[in-house]
Amino acid sequence: MKILMVLTSHDKLGDTGKKTGFWLEEFAAPYYVFKDAGAEVILASPKGGQPPLDPTSDADDAQTEATKRFKDDKAAQSDLAHTAVLSTISADGFDAIFYPGGHGPLWDLAEDADSIKLIQTFAANDRPIGAVCHAPAAFKHPKGPDGKPLVSGKTVTGFANSEEEGVSLTKVVPFLVEDMLKANGGNYEKGTDWASFVVTDGKLVTGQNPASSEDAARELLRLL
């Protein structure tokens, strides 16, 4: 079992002068769900190397069992510091693909041609595709085998408009995940803000927010 995890390389939070990137819990929790199940996990990002960490996700109040485990895990830290350049990755040999969130993907993975091609290949081969929180941004442009947007007619979730309002970034982000999923024909559903909520439709798994990371990863594993 071989799973590709794709992280953002984008570190600027719009024109706020603040940093963003990937959300630590959204990487760490799925990483260990997959590893503990015996999967081989390959990490990639558009620029390769160390992906930028959203500093907010490293704050004391954002720590979870998975993030604490990661901080004591030199092998995992090394894996993360040496992500492959996304353009060098082929879908061949991978059983599933998973996207951790953080605000970064809204800027790079949403528009990344290599990511779009990978997602379309996984969809065409009916292999599981997962994304959590802001990472469904990567579904903005990919098409399904029918030529329609990947999420068209599918029940999906992702970071809710109400959650984006809660962190006061609705005017900073290039687009709202919830609005984009709806505009692409997705049947958007949400749970309680900040509580775990995961939706599976066929081979597509989406999680609403950081709290959904572990459950989304387990659901992807179930499909495998």
pLDDT in tens, the chain (224 residues): 999 999 999 999 999 999 999 999 999 999 999 999 999 999 999 999 999 999 999 999 999 999 999 999 999 999 999 999 999 999 999 999 999 999 999 999 999 999 999 999 999 999 999 999 999 999 999 999 999 999 999 999 999 999 999 999 999 999 999 999 999 999 999 999 999 999 999 999 999 999 999 999 999 999 99
> How many CA atoms are closer than 13 Å to the CA of 219, on its beta-carbon side?
22
Residue 82: CB atoms within 10 Å: 11
CA-based R_g, the chain, Å: 16
pLDDT of residue 43: 98
pLDDT of residue 38: 98
pLDDT of residue 215: 98
What amino acid is encoded at 15 in this protein? D
CATH numeric code, 2-223: 3.40.50.880
- Angle of helix 24-36 relative to helix 213-223, nearest 10 degrees? 30
- Distance in angstroms (rounded) separating the CA atoms of residues 181 and 83: 28
Residues with Cβ < 8 Å from 136, sequence gap 6 or more?
99, 101, 151, 156, 157, 158, 159, 177, 180, 181, 206
pLDDT of residue 35: 98
- Distance in angstroms (rounded) separating the CA atoms of residues 42 and 79: 8
- Distance in angstroms (rounded) separating the CA atoms of residues 51 and 8: 6
pLDDT of residue 11: 98
pLDDT of residue 113: 98
Structure token digits, residue 154: 């599918």
Q: Are 131 and 101 in contact (CB under 8 A)?
A: yes
- Residue given tokens 């599918």 in the structure block: 154
- Distance in angstroms (rounded) separating the CA atoms of residues 209 and 160: 8
